[in-house]
Amino acid sequence: MRYPLEPEPEALRALTDEVARFVVEHVASLTDQPASDLEGVDSVRAGLVGPVSEMGSPLSVLLDELRPAIAKSFNTAGPGYLAFIPGGGVYAAALGDFIACAVNRYVGVRQAAPALVQIEETALRWLADLMGYPEAARGILTSGGSLSNLSAIVRARVARLPEGDLQRGILYVSAETHRCVAKAARLAGFPVRNVRVVDVDARFRMRPDALETEIRADHARGLHPFLVVPSVGTTNTGAIDPLPEILDVARRHGLWTHADAAYGGFFRLAEGGEALMPRLPECDSITLDPHKGLFLPYGTGCLLVRDGKALLRAHADHADYLQDVVGEEPGFNDLSPELSRDFRGLRLWLPIRLHGLRPFRDALTEKLALTRRAFEELRTDGRFEILDEPQLSILAFRLKGDGEATDARNAELLRRVNARGRVFLSSTRMAGRYVLRICVLSFRTHEDRLRDAIAALREEATALGA
């Protein structure tokens, strides 16, 4: 079969209708799909290996190949996905991506698509307003927190370090900071030894007094402290570092404060959310992941900078071949590491315009309440140890006990719970101990699925003789 690269309108409609039926069928069945299924995946993979063909294949055949490839995976879009940091994938975002890919307009430079650039800038302005940032703030959409944090470190480097002073530049994280921050520091040119790991308190939050001590010691060594990265929602426990005290320390010593709020920042929209992260608007920059707290598809990150001109100073460049599209106002290519980029703004703008903010606020409030419910349920069960009262929507816990035998029992508990297929949890290690995690973030997760998780944990703990 041969499909031309430019199908006739009737053929376009037929192709689109076939894909639409495929997608709607998939989304409609999400609640009935297992939370995770990798059984037989090697056979599926083997069927996808082969040489490229000169002739095309019917779309129906290709969709039949895709169906098991999608099925044999973690069901990250389903209601039972309580592992790692869930995404969501609101359907309106997929419609936005469909339009963006189909019209294929270039938004890297403003003059190429001024109105579409404005759509993305408007959506970014909404996010800046929601975080309490001033009118002078600017932002960029990225592929996720990793690239946002990299750009933020570069921004802080330009603002706080003399040119060529990378070897003396010191930045501060905690033991609970997401690993992408240290990785971004390496990519930005800083030696591994220049990343200081600050001690945390009993609730796994960065200790401001320890930060102060580290900074003073580095000054005494003749080094140049320039950046601190507090977390607004760590991956292990959802801990929120004490922003007011960290900001005070940073200001005393002239450090840039970058809040990694990739997971937790959007809980500011929930009922009582602002009180959970006081003085967040005073941070110099903020990383957000709309593919987490706004339930958008993976690959949707954001960096906001309080002083928008700082983004321009860090990233602006010039090339003669762009002289035809140079204007008075900067474009996204002047504000970010990317020149070629997709039109990410529509996947953010369309869902918010279509649904309004209220459903997002309500969903985030519900996730906090569900996590609290899980905490209350498990802490009254004497077999479980809770590592910390949830600060956001993550609950870290384990069967009580110490040593390798208890770790193995917890690992077996996780395996058994996940094998049921209704929910999918994940694990981590904290202070050398094996720990289970529940993270409630998908907009499709509601009380019924949380009850399934708690019941499975209790029943399988009983079966293990815990």
Give tens-digit pLDDT for 8-37. Answer: 999 999 999 999 999 999 999 999 999 999
**CA–CA separation, 191 vs 304, rounded Å?**
26
Beta 433-439 vs 256-260: how paired, if at all? unpaired
CATH classification at residue 309:
3.40.640.10
Paired with 430 in beta bridges are 433
Q: Is 246 inside any structural domain?
A: yes
pLDDT value, residue 163: 83
Q: Is 282 inside any structural domain?
A: yes
Spatial contact of 427 and 411, defined as CB atoms under 8 Å apart: yes
Mean pLDDT on 359-374: 98
Burial (CB count <10 Å: 0-12, 13-18, 19+), residue 327:
exposed
**CA–CA separation, 197 vs 156, rounded Å?**
18
Instruction: Write out the two tokens for 298.
Output: 């993976």
Paired with 5 in beta bridges are none
Average per-residue pLDDT in the chain?
A: 96
Q: Is 28 inside any structural domain?
A: no
Give tens-digit pLDDT for 190-212. Answer: 999 999 999 999 999 999 999 99
Q: At what angle do helices 345-355 and 358-379 cross, to 10 degrees?
A: 90
Q: Is 181 inside any structural domain?
A: yes
Domain count, the chain: 1
Give residues with Cβ within 8 angstroms of 303, minimum separation 6. Answer: 139, 140, 142, 148, 149, 151, 152, 285, 286, 287, 288, 311, 336
Q: Is 393 inside any structural domain?
A: no
Range of the domain at 318: 106-342
Q: Is 112 inside any structural domain?
A: yes
Tell me the one-letter amino acid at 185. A
Mean pLDDT on 150-155: 97
Give tens-digit pLDDT for 379-425. Answer: 999 999 999 999 999 999 999 999 999 999 999 999 999 999 999 99
Give tens-digit pLDDT for 283-338. Answer: 999 999 999 999 999 999 999 999 999 898 988 888 888 888 888 789 999 999 99
Q: Is 201 inside any structural domain?
A: yes
Q: Centre a 10 Å sphere on the Cβ of residue 100 and count the other Cβ atoms it contains.
A: 19
Give residues with Cβ within 8 angstroms of 231, minimum separation 6. Answer: 174, 176, 177, 178, 206, 239, 240, 241, 259, 260, 261, 264
Mean pLDDT on 344-348: 98
Per-residue pLDDT for 1 more than 80? no
